[in-house]
Amino acid sequence: MARKCKLTGRGPKTANNVSHSHRVTKRRQLLNLQKKTIFVPELGRSVTIRMSVRAMRTIDKNGLLPYIKKEGLTLKDVI
């Protein structure tokens, strides 16, 4: 399973570790991905989605279907 948010499409980023002597080495910055079960009234059931916490907060505020519509996705893309 890829480390990618199903809703936003965001994945890991690359950055630099900088030591005290200022040596630079590559590192990965991973997303804060969580599994969340959301009830979808249109389907009449709950679905489990692996999403970032940023997307989770937005869904708590606006709802799942308005968020999906705003992102230009369908429910089938997310599930």
User: Alpha-carbon torsion 30, 32, 36, 41, what sign?
Assistant: negative
What CATH number corresponds to the domain at position 47?
2.30.170.40
Q: What's the predicted TM-score (pTM) here?
A: 0.74
Q: By residue range, what is the domain housing residue 73?
A: 32-78
**pLDDT, tens digit only, all 79 positions of the chain:** 688 998 998 999 999 999 999 999 999 999 999 999 988 888 899 989 999 999 999 999 998 889 999 989 888 888 7
| Number of domains, the chain | 1
